[in-house]
Structure 1
Amino acid sequence: MSWQTKLERISDVLLRIPPLFIMDSILRMSFLSSYFPYQREFTYYLLWLLLMTFFFLSSLVMFSLSLRQLLQVYNYALATILLYTSFGMNHRYIFTVVNREEEFSDMTETTYLSQGYFKHIFIQICLSYLFIALWIFRLPARRDSNTVTRSSVKSALYFSFMLPVTFSRVFYQDLYIFQWMPQISLIIPLSLLVKDFLAALMTSIFIIKHSYDLCKWTLHEHGIQVFLENQWLRLRIPKVLRLFWLSRFSYQLITLTLYSYLNMQKKNGHIDYFSQEVWLFTGKQLLIQSCETVIALLGLTSIVSFISHYVGLVMAHMVGSETEEDRNMGTVSAILFFILALQTGLTGLEPEKRLVRLNRNFCLLSTAILHFVHSMVNPLLLSLSASRNLSWQRHLRVLGMCVFLFVFPLWLLYYLWSWNSISTWLLAVTAFSTEVMIKVLISVLVYALFMLDAHRETFWEGLDDYVYYIQSTGNTIEFFFGIFLFCNGAWIMMFESGGTIRAIMMCIHAYFNIWLQAKEGWKVFMRRRTAVNKINLLEEASPEKLREVNDVCAICYQELNTARITNCKHYFHGVCLRKWLYVQDNCPLCHEVIYQPENDKQSADLDEMNQNRIPGLLAHVNNDL
């Protein structure tokens, strides 16, 4: 990657941070506080609100611009600041000369030059050079970029910036003309800036129309998901939000630390840099201010996503997981954290309540991460036990993670119940943590059964039943936990803190974690019961027949100690055949229907009779014709 590409990427991220600071500052303003000077007049309040809304929307549009458009916006902003600075310096210089008018009449040239004359000239030269550099940067987009025009414009700009200083000796006695010199010096650069701005504005209209057509086409052809993904990557939103939050956090850390030290010095007469009181106050205030607006909350979410991503990578490396889905912990954690913040109304709470709620949300997030880690560990346990991998190092790594997943939530519950009274939040964390521990126990028990089966010399026919009973028990407990969490959330919504987002999340939880889980569990139960009934109706092979056949099961290739005989006279283990019937009803060898109910047999016989009668019926019709 070339240094130009790196510089463009860095600039693309850095230039989007100031609009976020503007939006964050506007959201932090309380329109009924000291920010609003006209508290008693509704008209002025409405105008103030419209003005802040305009600045917020302008910042949002600026954030979504391309890199080239951002550079143009910053170009015009810096040029305006330079003109304002030049005007202020010239006005101050003229004001100083006018107030000393009586002294100037008797001054010598040396005394006059000593009044900051050369200093003012140097500053104006620097401002003119910067303004011309910005104008030249905009020049490639202009049509009148020939050398003669460029030289003429540069000379005019130099003349304009130096006008008050150059003619101060000539016109300082004529106060009327002399006092208007700063305004006169703005005519040429301001006209040039307005002309370029209007030209850019006309170009922006075509760009907006083209962007609208492109967005409309993308939404129509690829859908909203592809459109949002493209914009997410184009704007580099995670990096921008992360850098914005770190900059904001650093600024607040410096200001809060200085504030704490000054208060300590005023209170105690000296500064204790390592005082626990200072660090405790600073830490609390940083946590409170880290999510006081929606923009700051998005920045904090990006930080949580970044940390969770690397935590997930460490966990995946520890257990030896190479699946791509197991490395998406950052995305899942960010979504959960942001939904929890919106659901609990984090940004709208009072400072102390916000700090408490933030800590509680982090506890809920940690339990959710434990569930994600378990979903990473469980397939590894099953694969290790099923593949009969003899590498004990891999087994110990995965089992060690299981121990962590059991011990950490246990310690968390002990700590939380020791320092907090019973509440709906504490019950929710307890349910989540207990559910993780039960899942870990179920996974380890199933793993132990498969490992025990791997070291047996004979076929263990009851293994499938034991695994089913253990897993169904775990799924049933998880189902009841889902019902408990739904009732807990309903209590919170009705008696503590309601909200649209909480109601939507409860509906999603009821559908995915209760209804679909119950539906899937009932389907598995009915399918298993049907398969067991079908197997029980098949003939069981006697030891004499097994010795006569002297074969292996065609499904598992294990010795036939016990077997069931299908209608097509094939021998299979009852457990293996039952698993096969979960998928289809045909014989694995000849594909004949293994079991057919009486009603289906009668229907088949009827169809066969009808098929045999159709040719005779057609022949009878032909004879009549």
Structure 2
Amino acid sequence: MSVETRRKMSPWSSDVLVDVVMRVPTLYMMDSILNKSFLSDISIFHYSATMSWMQFFRWLFLMSTLFMVAFGLFLLSNKQLMDIYSYLLSMIVMLVSYFCNLNFMKAIYTEEINKFYPENRDLWILIKEDPMNVTKILFIHLTTSFLFTKIWKFRNFNSRRTRVDGEYAMQIWIFFSFIFPLVLRAVYQDLDWFMWSPVIALTMPFVILTGDTFKSFSMHYQELSVNIQTAWMTIQTLGLQSFLENQWIRLHVPKVLRMFWCSRFVFHFIYYFYAISTEYIAANIDTTYYDYQLWRMIVKILMIRSCDTTVSLLGLTSIVSCVAHYFGILMAFCVGSESEEDRNMGTVSAVLFFILALQTGLTGLEPEKRLVRLSKNFCLLFTAISHFIHSMVHPLLMSISAQRNTNLTKHIRILAMCAFLITFPICLLVYLWSEYSASTWLLAVSAFSIEVIMKVTVSLTVYVLFMLDAYRVTFWEKLDDYVYYVQSTGNTIEFLFGIFLFCNGAWIMIFESGGFIRAVMMCIHAYFNIWVQAKEGWKVFMNRRTAVKKINSLPEATEETLRELNDVCAICYQDLNTARVTPCHHYFHGVCLRKWLYVQDNCPLCHKLIYKPEKEENEDKNQNNLQVPAANDNH
């Protein structure tokens, strides 16, 4: 594999990293606008509860426009973002050069200097008396001119990709323009010209930057029109979902959110660590940087600030998704699962965590309540992850038991995971009930935890039954009945827990904290976890009841007949110790034929109809009864 191929396949290649870093500032801008803190020191951007209606609508229009601009910047391509950042950097370099020239001019012409030097102060005298200051100013001039030249060269190279004649001469003139005040003062002593030299120094860079801006504006306008047409064609051809998925991948949304949240977290950590340490020192508290109370306070503040805005909540959701994804990969590796569906824990955890946050209004809570609510949401998330791990372990447990797998290591790994799924919820419940008083939230966590314990117990019971059947010499005809009874008991208990959680959620919505999102989630829970589950359970029960009725309508073979037949069941290829006889005189195990009748009513060998419904049988009997008198009349 080539280096280029590895670079493209890497999730954090240099191109991806640059693209992610360039999109993070737009998230900071959107976050500050949503948090009403964008340029709040300026009156026009400052929000106040005492605003008049006109001022409020003016502020709302301005903030909405800025938010749409920031969102539009976030959606731009990598090349367009590079161009915009290059213009911003060029303007910053020009401003730095301008203020540097002003400082240089003030260093030569001040009232204090003119007291000792009535005439204009010469540059060479200043160099002799204060060489460090002049060297610093000269270094800043050289650095800013060099940076502007390189940024201008990069921007033009990025837009044209070809070299233009006279480009090197243009770079020299730009460099000379920045150091114009120094050159003018060294060779020409006119005060009037020197006072205007900072403005003259920016003339050529400003003209170049303005010309490039107009050229790039027309070019990006054409590119934007093409992108809009392409997006519309993509939506018409592939659909809106495919278009959004492609944009999600192109913009690296999860990586951008994680970079935003991590940078914000690091900034808050440095800021609060310094602030709290300074307070400790000012209060003459004898502590060290490793003091428990200091770290406890910092962690508490960081957890509160980690989800205080909508954008930061999205960033925290992305972090949760990343951690849950790798945790799911670890769990899949521990149990030996190779299914791709078992690696979707990150997506499921992110959706659940974000829904819980919206449902509880996490960002709008007070700091102390937000910390408590965040901890409760994480507890609910942990129990949900336990259910996801069980859905990963259950098919593997059934597979190794039904296939009579003799690999002891695989059995131990899966059984150890089952032990973890039982131990973890029990420990969590013991801790929560010892630390917290009874509440609707604690009842919900307890219901989820007991439910996962029950599911694991049912899976282990079925596993034991299958393993006992594996060591039996004769065919165990009652095995299917035992498995059905165990699984139906577990499904019934799970259904009852679903009803309990619905009632618990209804109590929370009516008496504690309602909301549209909670109402929607309750409707979804009522449909999928109660109605659909009850419908499927009733369907299975009726199918089994019908199959049992079909089997009971068939005669059972005698021991003498089976001894004379000395054959095996054509479905499971096991000895026929007991059998049911079909109307077409074929012999099968009753349990095997019952499973077959779940699917169809025809014989597995000759495909003749085995069982007719009662209506068809009554119709056949009536038709036969009518045919007999007609035959007698003919005689």
**TM, length-normalised to structure 2:** 0.90
- 1:20–1:244 Cα contact (<8 Å) kept: yes
Post-superposition Cα deviations, 1:185-236, rounded to whole Å, max 9, x if no partner, equal 3222112111111111111211211111111111111122221221122122
Tell me how far apart the structure 2 counterparts of residues 4 and 597 of structure 1 sit (CA, whole Å).
Answer: 66
Tell me how far apart the structure 2 counterparts of residues 606 and 149 of structure 1 sit (CA, whole Å).
Answer: 106
- 1:535–1:578 Cα contact (<8 Å) kept: yes
State whether structure 2 residue 379 is matched by structure 1 residue 363.
yes
Q: Where does structure 1 lack aligned partners over 5 or more consecutive residues?
A: 609-625
Cα gap change, 1:527 to 1:41, in 2 (>3 Å): closer
State whether structure 2 residue 137 is matched by structure 1 residue 126.
no
State whether structure 2 residue 239 is matched by structure 1 residue 223.
yes
Amino-acid identity (%)? 52
Q: Could you say which residue in structure 1 is the equivalent of 2:28?
A: 21
Deviation, structure 1 residue 152: 4.8
Q: Could you say which residue in structure 2 is the equivalent of 1:7?
A: 14
Q: Pick one of 71, 85, 88 that aligns with 1:74.
A: 85
Cα gap change, 1:180 to 1:535, in 2 (>3 Å): same
Q: Could you say which residue in structure 1 is the equivalent of 2:114?
A: 102
SS of residue paired to 2:283: helix
Tell me how far apart the structure 2 counterparts of residues 143 and 430 of structure 1 sit (CA, whole Å).
Answer: 64
State the AA in 1 paired with 2:152.
W
Tell me how far apart the structure 2 counterparts of residues 125 and 179 of structure 1 sit (CA, whole Å).
Answer: 20
Tell me how far apart the structure 2 counterparts of residues 146 and 323 of structure 1 sit (CA, whole Å).
Answer: 52
Deviation, structure 1 residue 94: 2.8
Tell me how far apart the structure 2 counterparts of residues 307 and 76 of structure 1 sit (CA, whole Å).
Answer: 38
Post-superposition Cα deviations, 1:158-183, rounded to whole Å, max 9, x if no partner, equal 343223333347887645x5444323
- 2:40–2:47 Cα contact (<8 Å) kept: no
Tell me how far apart the structure 2 counterparts of residues 537 and 4 of structure 1 sit (CA, whole Å).
Answer: 68
Deviation, structure 1 residue 312: 1.4
Deviation, structure 1 residue 528: 0.7
- 2:554–2:580 Cα contact (<8 Å) kept: yes
Superposed, 1:426-575 pairs within 5 Å as 426-575=442-591
Higher deviation after alignment, 320-329 or 404-413:
320-329
Higher deviation after alignment, 597-606 or 90-99:
597-606
State the AA in 1 paired with 2:100.
M
Q: Could you say which residue in structure 2 is the equivalent of 1:60?
A: 71
Cα gap change, 1:271 to 1:97, in 2 (>3 Å): farther
Higher deviation after alignment, 232-241 or 138-147:
138-147
Q: Pick one of 284, 302, 319 that aligns with 2:335.
A: 319
Deviation, structure 1 residue 481: 0.8
Q: Could you say which residue in structure 1 is the equivalent of 2:254?
A: 238
Tell me how far apart the structure 2 counterparts of residues 452 and 150 of structure 1 sit (CA, whole Å).
Answer: 84
- 2:36–2:47 Cα contact (<8 Å) kept: no
Superposed, 1:163-312 pairs within 5 Å as 163-168=180-185, 174=191, 178-312=194-328
State the AA in 1 paired with 2:126.
Y
- 1:98–1:172 Cα contact (<8 Å) kept: no
State the AA in 2 paired with 1:12.
D
State the AA in 1 paired with 2:522.
M
Post-superposition Cα deviations, 1:62-91, rounded to whole Å, max 9, x if no partner, equal 222222112111111100111111112222
State the AA in 2 paired with 1:197.
T
Q: Where does structure 2 lack aligned partners over 5 or more consecutive residues?
A: 625-635
Post-superposition Cα deviations, 1:530-582, rounded to whole Å, max 9, x if no partner, equal 11111111111122221222211111111111111111111111111111111
Tell me how far apart the structure 2 counterparts of residues 248 and 499 of structure 1 sit (CA, whole Å).
Answer: 30
Tell me how far apart the structure 1 counterparts of residues 423 and 201 of structure 2 sit (CA, whole Å).
Answer: 75
State whether structure 2 residue 106 is matched by structure 1 residue 89.
no
- 2:32–2:38 Cα contact (<8 Å) kept: no
Tell me how far apart the structure 1 counterparts of residues 234 and 391 of structure 2 sit (CA, whole Å).
Answer: 36
Higher deviation after alignment, 46-55 or 427-436:
46-55
- 1:38–1:44 Cα contact (<8 Å) kept: no
- 2:80–2:220 Cα contact (<8 Å) kept: no
- 2:123–2:186 Cα contact (<8 Å) kept: no
Q: Could you say which residue in structure 1 is the equivalent of 2:425?
A: 409
Tell me how far apart the structure 2 counterparts of residues 426 and 406 of structure 1 sit (CA, whole Å).
Answer: 18
How many residue pairs get matched? 608
Higher deviation after alignment, 122-131 or 429-438:
122-131
SS of residue paired to 1:365: helix
Higher deviation after alignment, 313-322 or 36-45:
36-45
Higher deviation after alignment, 504-513 or 412-421:
504-513
Higher deviation after alignment, 526-535 or 94-103:
94-103
Higher deviation after alignment, 287-296 or 351-360:
287-296
Q: Pick one of 126, 129, 138 that aligns with 1:112.
A: 126
State the AA in 1 paired with 2:91.
T
Deviation, structure 1 residue 142: 6.2
Tell me how far apart the structure 1 counterparts of residues 285 and 529 of structure 2 sit (CA, whole Å).
Answer: 60
Post-superposition Cα deviations, 1:422-480, rounded to whole Å, max 9, x if no partner, equal 11111110110010011011111111111111111111111111111111111011111
State the AA in 2 paired with 1:370.
S
Cα gap change, 1:93 to 1:289, in 2 (>3 Å): same
Deviation, structure 1 residue 357: 0.6
- 1:406–1:437 Cα contact (<8 Å) kept: yes
State the AA in 1 paired with 2:326.
Y
Cα gap change, 1:598 to 1:338, in 2 (>3 Å): closer
State the AA in 1 paired with 2:67.
F
Q: Pick one of 321, 325, 330 that aligns with 2:346.
A: 330
Cα gap change, 1:85 to 1:14, in 2 (>3 Å): same
Tell me how far apart the structure 2 counterparts of residues 385 and 140 of structure 1 sit (CA, whole Å).
Answer: 65
Q: Could you say which residue in structure 1 is the equivalent of 2:631?
A: none
Tell me how far apart the structure 2 counterparts of residues 166 and 182 of structure 1 sit (CA, whole Å).
Answer: 12
Deviation, structure 1 residue 331: 1.7
Post-superposition Cα deviations, 1:283-331, rounded to whole Å, max 9, x if no partner, equal 1001011111122112212221222122212212222222221122122
- 2:29–2:38 Cα contact (<8 Å) kept: no
Tell me how far apart the structure 2 counterparts of residues 606 and 202 of structure 1 sit (CA, whole Å).
Answer: 88
Deviation, structure 1 residue 14: 2.2
Tell me how far apart the structure 2 counterparts of residues 476 and 269 of structure 1 sit (CA, whole Å).
Answer: 60
Deviation, structure 1 residue 607: 11
Tell me how far apart the structure 2 counterparts of residues 132 and 108 of structure 1 sit (CA, whole Å).
Answer: 29
